[in-house]
Amino acid sequence: MKDALPILPQGARLVFLNEIDSTSAEAQRIGQKLEEEGGGLPIWIWALRQSMGRGRRGRVWVSEPGNLFCTQLRACDTAPLKSAQLSFAAALAVIDALQETVPELAAQPERLEVKWPNDVLLDRRKVSGILLESFSAPPRPLLAIGIGVNLVSHPSATAFPATDVRAAGFFAPDQGLCLSALAASVERWSRIWATQGFAPIRRAWLARAAGLGRRINIVLPHETLEGTFADLSERGELLLACDDGQQRAISAGDVFFGS
């Protein structure tokens, strides 16, 4: 049985599913049929269960019942690299949604942080992940923003420690209520991005950035880098101050915090 039906921003549509392989995969299927079936964007795809949930770099996203699994399907009117900035907006939206639906977190804002490039942390443990995928669906490209939020459970065998809202000691909101808050906040941050650019999102993200100014390790496909998390570039790259005095701009990688 599903939770309360979410209230979405005006103009947005909802596709609800009891179970699906992946809400992001379903977004791509819907996108390919959009022109022949009609209907506008954005569309939120929400499922109570995922049998093949996925995260970044093809990783499995463990999809236990009671957590939130959703994807926003939207037009992609800019270059894919620029659209990637929406992952930072989505992370801020997740924090907004958690603070709105878990009032105790609003009173303890320091417990929620963002982790580059697209995770949300609760007590320095991953509580939410975001996956952006752009794809061609003539006559226009589309973007799927997949968001998973651990409300009542979390995986244990992960490279970076995970948690969930209930494990952190809070009453977990139902999925529909959380999606209502999330969709409203994604709409708000998307509007800021569209009208003011990346700068205000970058400032808000940096104010929540875990590890900023600290030693970090960045695992890349063929090497691991060490240095200090110096800044976030105006394009969304992580700026790493290396021990040799050089600064490297990292566009993709896995961040781990040093001691």
Q: What is the distance between the alpha carbons of residues 200 and 122, in angstroms, rounded to a whole number?
A: 23
- Place 110 in a pLDDT band, splitting at 50, 70 and 90: very high
Computed on alpha carbons and rounded to an integer, the radius of gyration of the chain in Å comes to 18
Ordered by start, the domain boundaries in the chain are 13-206, 215-257
Neighbours of 157 (CB within 10 A): 6
What is the rounded CA–CA span in Å between residue 50 and residue 20?
Answer: 5
Q: Position 150: which residue type?
A: N
- % of the chain residues with pLDDT over 70: 92
The pLDDT tens digits of the residues spanning 38-50 come to: 678 999 999 999 8
Out of 1.10.1740.10, 1.20.1080.10, 3.60.15.10, 2.30.30.100, the CATH code matching 215-257 is 2.30.30.100
Average pLDDT, the chain: 91
Helix, strand, coil percentages, rounded to 5, for the chain:
30, 35, 40
The pLDDT score that the predictor gives to residue 59 is 54
Domains 13-206 and 215-257 share a fold: no
- CATH number for domain 13-206, candidates 2.40.400.10, 3.30.930.10, 3.40.50.12780, 3.40.50.720: 3.30.930.10
Q: Are 197 and 236 in contact (CB under 8 A)?
A: no
One-character DSSP codes across 128-176: EEEEEEEEEETTEEEEEEEEEE-SS---SS-SS-B--TTTTTSPPPPHH
CA gap 206, 234 in Å, rounded? 12
